[in-house]
Amino acid sequence: MRDRPSGTKINQPDPHVRRILERAELEGIELIRFLYADHGGVIRGKAASRSRLAERLRTGIGHTVAMMAMNMLDQLQEVEHMSPVGEVRIVPDPATYVPLPHAPGAAAMLSDLCLPDGTPWDACARTFLKNAVAELASENYTLQAAFEPEFTLGRRLPDPSGGPDRLVPLDDALCYANAGFDTAHDYTIKLMRALETQGLRVEHYHPELGPGQQELSIRHAPALRAADNHVLYRETVRGVAMRMSMWATLAPKPLADQSGNGAHLHLSLWRDSQNVFGEDDEIRAAFIGGLIAHLPALTALTCGSVNSFRRLSPRSWSSAYAVYGPDNREAAVRVCSPLGESGEPNLELKPSDSSANPYLSLGAVIHAGLDGIRRKLDPGEPVDVDPDTRPGRYPRLPASLPEALDALEADEVLMEALGPLRRNAYLTVKRSEAAAFAGRDVSYELFNHLRVF
Ligand code: GLU
Ligand code: MG
């Protein structure tokens, strides 16, 4: 018998795996959800039992390739290589295990979609973001990011006239009004605790504009972690509400005549522990140039649903024009002034909401910014007025999902970055959603977005 090479470990599980198994037992976890985000922007997954967890951490859970051809109405689309024949694995990232305080007995792990041989599948959204981060690293940059989500809190009531259920907002408190802190207090404290338990660091909270609207922001993190955080955030906002017999939605425009829910994307670029956006005006300008140049196409990924485009209207602080400006809340890219001396300069992308797949959205933003840096794209003059007060002067963002998808299809940089399988599936799934809502009444669109997002 040959000697084992020194240092080889037999029956010594990966320390991550050992830690997860120990934690799951200690925390009384029975089910561990392996979660991923699909082309419809929906968070889906399968759960492993604790007794089978050790093995499933290694093998993942089997899944049909066809699920990445499903739209947000659970209508399966015909996409090449995503037929009912073919298998992938939902493979959890061991660094992402978190217990879910709003679902006692359950934990979650953010997951990749891999081929049975363990290599990442070309349609895995999380891998798309990882690759974008690697591309950035090849130029010696890293990106810190944070989604700044808004949501609407209320109750779900049947429609007396037999239509879709209605979201009845929790309150009619005014924007930032102290009274709003009180009406939403019990929920907010539970939400904060649930988020902090999952390792998300809460920055700020306030009652927002419009009935039941809330905003609770999360501290920035490296790009992949920021997207993982946003998945957990979305599910926790809704899960905590459900446990309290309430209904919460992050849909971009759940109530047609009220303020929309954004998920503005805050970005800072780093090199050698320096925030490049604070140190190098040229690089910052080129990154903005990349965002502005790709904005029409980007919105197809950052504002991923039919309902998204109802939100992008002028005078809503959600942005309707493809311009940038210092602390300009009507510009698509706001150059944020830092908070205090230790504050970090960052960019805020306003055409971004929680119906997007956060991995595709953030990955595409990285590719756009990087393209700006590589080609030294000029962002033009900053805009220091509300662009809507200068009719015809500034370019509008796409007005609908089909318009944004056409722009995406025409954008060589983003189409190349997405790759053939993913771009074909994304365009097909999203066009099917646009078709499914076309010609239907507004209440059908609102209900379906608020129940999913
Ligand atoms: N609710 C606005 C939106 O749809 C954002 C308001 C703000 O926080 O500036 O983006
Ligand atoms: Mg806000």
Residue 240 pLDDT exceeds 90: yes
Percent of the chain residues topping a pLDDT of 90: 92
* CB of 311 sitting under 6 A from ligand 1: yes
The model's confidence at residue 12, banded by pLDDT at 50, 70 and 90, is low
Task: Report CA(251)–ligand 2 centroid distance (Å).
Answer: 14
Give the torsion sign (CA, 80, 448, 299, 131): negative
pLDDT of residue 2: 43
Choosing from 257, 264, 349 the residue with most ligand 1 atoms within 8 A of its CB, the one to mutate for a pocket test is: 264
Strands 213-218 and 274-275 turn out to be unpaired
Span 161-186, mean pLDDT?
93
Task: Report CA(118)–ligand 1 centroid distance (Å).
Answer: 41
Summarised one tens digit per residue, pLDDT across range 178-223 is 999 999 999 999 999 999 999 999 999 999 999 999 999 999 999 9
| Closest Cα to atom 6 of ligand 1 | 317
Going along the chain from its start, the domains and CATH numbers come out as 15-118 (3.10.20.70), 131-452 (3.30.590.10)
* CB of 206 sitting under 6 A from ligand 1: no
Span 81-103, mean pLDDT?
96
* CB of 316 sitting under 6 A from ligand 1: yes
Asked whether 427 and 71 are in contact (CB, 8 A), the reply is no
* CB of 328 sitting under 6 A from ligand 1: no
The model's confidence at residue 4, banded by pLDDT at 50, 70 and 90, is very low
Summarised one tens digit per residue, pLDDT across range 280-305 is 899 999 999 999 999 999 999 999 99
Atom nearest to 213 CA in ligand 1: 1
| Closest Cα to atom 8 of ligand 1 | 317
Summarised one tens digit per residue, pLDDT across range 118-157 is 999 999 999 999 999 999 999 999 999 999 999 999 999 9
pLDDT of residue 56: 96
What average pLDDT is seen over the chain?
95
Whats the size of the chain, residue-wise?
A: 453
Span 28-55, mean pLDDT?
97
* CB of 96 sitting under 6 A from ligand 1: no
Task: Report CA(216)–ligand 2 centroid distance (Å).
Answer: 9
Task: Report CA(438)–ligand 1 centroid distance (Å).
Answer: 26
With tokens 């959603």, the residue in question is: 433
* CB of 150 sitting under 6 A from ligand 1: yes
Atom nearest to 148 CA in ligand 1: 8
Ligand having the closest approach to the CA of 252: 1
The model's confidence at residue 339, banded by pLDDT at 50, 70 and 90, is confident
* CB of 207 sitting under 6 A from ligand 1: no
Atom nearest to 260 CA in ligand 1: 4
How far is residue 137's CA from residue 367's CA, in Å, rounded to a whole number?
12
Span 22-43, mean pLDDT?
97
pLDDT of residue 384: 96
Residue 338 pLDDT exceeds 90: no
Residue 345 pLDDT exceeds 90: no
Atom nearest to 350 CA in ligand 1: 10
**Nearest C-alpha neighbor of 254 from the set 402, 440, 441, 445:** 445
How far is residue 453's CA from residue 450's CA, in Å, rounded to a whole number?
5
Higher pLDDT, 345 or 357: 357
pLDDT of residue 9: 41
pLDDT of residue 13: 62
* CB of 181 sitting under 6 A from ligand 1: no
400: exposed, middle or buried (Cβ count in 10 Å: 0-12, 13-18, 19+): middle
Ligand having the closest approach to the CA of 319: 1
The model's confidence at residue 62, banded by pLDDT at 50, 70 and 90, is very high
Determine how many CB atoms are found less than 10 A away from the CB of residue 169: 19
Summarised one tens digit per residue, pLDDT across range 294-334 is 999 999 999 999 999 999 999 999 999 999 999 999 999 99
Span 18-33, mean pLDDT?
96
pLDDT of residue 10: 45
Task: Report CA(261)–ligand 1 centroid distance (Å).
Answer: 7
